[in-house]
Amino acid sequence: MGQQVLVLGAGMVGTCTALELQLRGHDVVLLDRRGPGQETSYGNAGAIQREAVEPYPMPRDWRTLLSVALRQGLDVDYQLSGLLAAWPQLLRYWRESASLRHQRTAREYATLIAHSTAAHDRLIELAGARDLVRESGLRFLFRTAAALEAASRQAERLRAEHGLGVALLDGPALAAAEPALRPRLAGAVHWLDTWCVSDPGALVERYAALFRQKGGRLLKGDALSLRAAGPGWQVDTEEGRVSAAQAVLALGPWSGEALRRLGYRWPLFVKRGYHRHYAGGATLNVAALDAERGYVLAPQCRGLRLTSGAQIARIDAPPAPRQLHGAEREARQLLDLGQAVEAQPWMGSRPCSADMKPVIGALPQHPGLWVNCGHGHQGFTLGPVSGRLLAELMEGRPSCVPTTPFSPLRF
């Protein structure tokens, strides 16, 4: 017999968690202050990144760190207030990025990524969302031969270790594949197993529509009103108080605040990102990362979406889209970008953990309360498999991947 469950947060991770539990016969309420997929899940590059088997480590060589400190590149930026607020977590992030630790983390992380496209495929089929998805891969573009050579060696290693599909393109092959690119680049690494979504927010909405169709309830309310109520949990919604025996925190970048209110001091922090759409110019056949500049160009339904690198900032800090403006200048050197669609760039935050792994499991001091957060850059990719893993844990069933690396008990 199914349980009553509250899932707090209707981004990709929360929506997939609610849908997975609902499909397993549980009575689920999904709650958010806004509609499904309107926060962090709306603002990404729309890639389901099967190739992302190794999480992003923090640079450890002094030249790169000095470049970041001096804001010389576009891939990483910071606001001083955010840097000061997050320094303990960033210090742990730096430690966890040491070679041997990162290798161990990558082996654990890859077990989740291995299920990413298959888990999405199941929900895409059930939700009738094939029209939003292209199995076209993702290209990493390189301007210099040295960078392309290093990336090609890395790609061959990952192909051999993880069975990934990859194609290496030299300059003429890339020019033939993407005629809109004006300068002759050194080439590209084309990750063939990655899928691209033409409207990331719409895919979350399709999953949420399937959730409602199957009997789930979607309510608006204040997730931070969560409180213990008898043997279960209670939250305030626009329709009044709602109670359930079990609750799941899947609040993305707001998870840290909710957990601190419950007494947990985990090494969670946020990275901010920006995007803007451009129309009326050229486009690309396949989404592409300008790997030596640190931004992504992705063809989507609103135009060519330009997404920035990571910015360390407080979640409530005012916008500072320096990276996006710099990325626009760089992108205009590659192709006719066209005109900006939005008057102002979109801004959002990514929920990160200092050890680069999501946190999935039961909260040790609060019976009936679970967490599914900390996915960093890959919440959109990992939403369905994370929801499956959380459901398996909640039901006490054998899990699709080893659970210990992602357990809250590691903190």
- 0.95 surpassed by pTM: yes
Secondary structure (H, E, C), 164-179: CCEEEEEHHHHHHHCC
Return the pLDDT at 1.
Answer: 55
CATH number assigned to the domain with residue range 1-56+100-130+197-265+355-411, chosen from the 4 options 1.10.1200.10, 3.50.50.60, 3.40.109.10, 3.30.420.40? 3.50.50.60
- The partner residues of 271 in beta bridges, in order of sequence, read 312, 350
User: CA-CA distance, 384 to 20, in Å (whole number)?
Assistant: 8
pLDDT band of residue 245 (cuts 50, 70, 90) is: very high
- Report the pLDDT averaged over residues 381-392: 98
Per the CB < 8 A criterion, the answer to whether 6 and 27 are in contact is no
Task: Give the residue among 391, 388, 355, 361 at the shortest CA–CA distance from 373.
Answer: 361
- At residue 3 the predicted structure's pLDDT band, cuts being 50, 70 and 90, is confident
Picking from 248, 129, 148, 260, the residue whose alpha carbon sits closest to that of residue 199 is 129
- Cβ-contact 289, 76 below 8 angstroms: no
pLDDT at residue 390, as a whole number: 98
* Tens-place pLDDT, residues 102-112: 999 999 999 99
Q: Phi and psi at residue 383, in whole multiples of 5°?
A: -50, -55
What are the structural domain ranges in the chain?
1-56+100-130+197-265+355-411
How confident is the model at residue 324, as a pLDDT?
Answer: 97
Residue 76 has pLDDT above 70, yes or no: yes
Q: What rounded mean pLDDT belongs to the chain?
A: 97
Report the candidate in 111, 55, 8 with the shortest Cα–Cα distance to residue 375. Answer: 55
The predicted pLDDT at position 291 comes to 97
